[in-house]
Structure 1
Amino acid sequence: MPLISVITPSYRPVPEQLLEAYESVRAQELPRGWEVEWVIQEDGDTGAALDILPADPVVRFATGRRGGVALTRNMALARARGDLVKNLDHDDVLTPGVLARDIEVLASDPLVQWTTSPVLDLLPDGSTVAFDSDPAPGRIEPGHVFEHWRTHGYRLPVHPTSICIRRPLAVALGGWMGVPGSDDTGLLVPASVVSYGYFHAEAGLLYRKWPGQETAASGHYAPMEWSLRMRLIEERAETVRKLWPDVVGVTWGGRGGGV
């Protein structure tokens, strides 16, 4: 039976936020025949998430050594069994129907290797704020995201944390990139140079804005570190494009002949 894996790194989760993330996964209605697993990987070994979440066979939890968010995502990727991999941070919320939309695109269009969605900022008072620079919905040509990113001050036209990606492509690229705070950009940008993507019309994620989030810390925007990681992501994408010049348009099949 085809499976989509939602993978979530966890470190010192806020109970109410983790429960909202859980409820957003469990509320998803999937296309007929599909199943979902929620693969939670703790950045550490406290088992804190298990003390918060109800017993549920959909939830697959594991602990590990402290190593940061990129390593933790990749350990979750290693444990994930689905041919499609959906990212979800432990303080964010999936909107209704987003997994079905991801599956429908990736199951029907073999050229598309990843999808993203509009993201709404979720403010502490419960209100949401939309972005005003989303691209038109539909297929995204190879190279478009990369060229926009590097010609617009390293600002992406789509939100990388909303990505759903075929597992073989994610693995071939080394998973989430080992850079502080931009590991999701480090996966999306090289994926975008060697494959078609897709942008949904409907919002797919509520991105929680709160003082405890990693991107709210001042160090996330330290000029030297930010410049170094942007430079490395750009070099990675350029190198991938040079090494894989004939990959665009090739279908990355699933491990078990799935989507």
Structure 2
Amino acid sequence: MACLTQVVSVITPVHLPSIGYLADAYASLAAQDMPDGWGWRWLVQEDGRTGAVADALPDDPRISVGVGRPGGPGVARTLAMERVDGPLVKVLDADDQLTPGVLARDIATLTAHPSVGWSTSRVLDLLPDGSTVGFDSDPPAGPIACGDVHAFWLANDYRAPVHPATLCLRTDVLFALGGWMALPASEDTGLLLAASTITGGFFNAETGLLYRKWPGQVTSQAAHREPAEHATRMRIIERRVRALTALNTTITLS
């Protein structure tokens, strides 16, 4: 076995209703064909302290499990940051699945483009019957300039041109932004918008994620689209972007 010199930290928040999908998430991670010298660590963070998550995971030394007070997925993700080891952090929700080769593509992208701080991929919705549905509004493959995600988001009813559930970020970018926003939802959108304000990104047109649709999904609940709270979340994200822009905080990556 080759000696590992670089690690991608894959962060997964999980709450009790989604524990049953962890096996599929793990299988998709274990199937990744990593470039020479690279490996992954799976940082699974329970949004709570039941301890049930550890019992649902296989015995794999690459898995690290954490627990904490319930606070939602953004809090769980941010708590998992304490265990990050390596130059890159990949997002993987507990009920989603990576597609073959996506980690290698993320690594290749961020290695080949040193001025890029994050990468994303095409997404397919994974429906309950096992079928998948794609989208016809993906951006062109390639670099995404600072500010482009924000401009699209404003012009399209707060819908981003790329999916935050596919983010792979440089660790320094993630920590510079303080992790995920302390919001009850849309915290991943907030991170995407902030990252795309301070550094350019990249979109890979090859599918990188199967985004599971199921009745217990947090984003499928009525509360997720409750008008007053949704508007509040969007305004907070917008003010963060405008503040970062005003501070002229564009990062030069070395």
TM-score grouping bracket, smaller chain normalisation: over 0.9
Q: AA paired with 1:209?
A: K
* Residue 78 (structure 1) aligned with residue 82 (structure 2): yes
1:11 aligns with 2:15: yes
Q: Is the 8 A contact 2:17 2:216 kept in 1?
A: no
State the AA in 2 paired with 1:206. Answer: L
Q: What is the CA distance between 1:14 and its match in structure 2?
A: 4.2
CA distance in 1, matches of 2:142, 2:201: 8
Query: What residue in structure 1 maps to residue 49 of structure 2?
Result: 45
Match of 1:96 in 2: 100
User: How far apart are 1:13 and its partner, in Å?
Assistant: 4.7
Q: Residue in 1 aligned with 2:215?
A: 211
Q: Percent identity?
A: 51
Cα 1:13–1:61 change in 2 (3 A) is: farther
Residue number in structure 1 paired with 2:123: 119
Alpha-carbon distance in 2 for matches of 1:152, 1:135: 13
Matched residue of 1:91: which SS?
Answer: coil
Q: Contact 1:7/1:85 (CA < 8 Å) preserved in 2?
A: yes
Q: Tell me the CA shift for residue 243 of structure 1.
A: 1.1
Which of 135, 156, 159 in structure 2 is aligned with 1:131? 135
Taking the aligned partners of 2:107 and 2:227, their CA distance within structure 1 comes to 38
1:133 and 1:157 in contact (8 A); partners too: yes
Q: Where does residue 26 of structure 2 map in the other structure? A: 22
Q: Tell me which residue corresponds to 1:65.
A: 69
Matched letter for residue 220 of structure 2? A
Q: Which residue of 1 aligns with 2:205?
A: 201
Contact map agreement 1:13 1:49 (CA 8 A) in 2: no
Contact 1:13 1:90 in 2 (8 A): no
Q: Shift of residue 219 of structure 1?
A: 0.5
Residue among 180, 185, 192 paired with 1:188: 192
The number of residues matched between the two structures is 250
One-letter identity of the residue aligned with 2:142: G
Q: Deviating runs (4+, > 6 A) in structure 1?
A: none
Where does 1:162-173 land on structure 2 (aligned, <5 Å)?
162-173=166-177
Aligned to 1:145: 149
Q: 1:106 aligns with which of 110, 113, 126?
A: 110
Change over 3 Å in CA distance of 1:14–1:169 after alignment to 2: closer
Local SS of the residue matching 1:67: coil
Instruction: Point out where structure 2 has 5 or more consecutive residues left out of the alignment.
Output: none
C-alpha separation in 1, matches of 2:149 and 2:101: 25
Return 5+ residue gaps in structure 1 as ranges. Answer: 254-259
TM-score scaled by structure 2? Answer: 0.96
SS at match of 2:194: helix
Please tell me whether the aligned partners of residues 120 and 203 of structure 1 are also in contact (alpha carbons under 8 angstroms): yes
Does the 8 Å CA contact 1:7/1:88 hold for their aligned counterparts?
A: yes
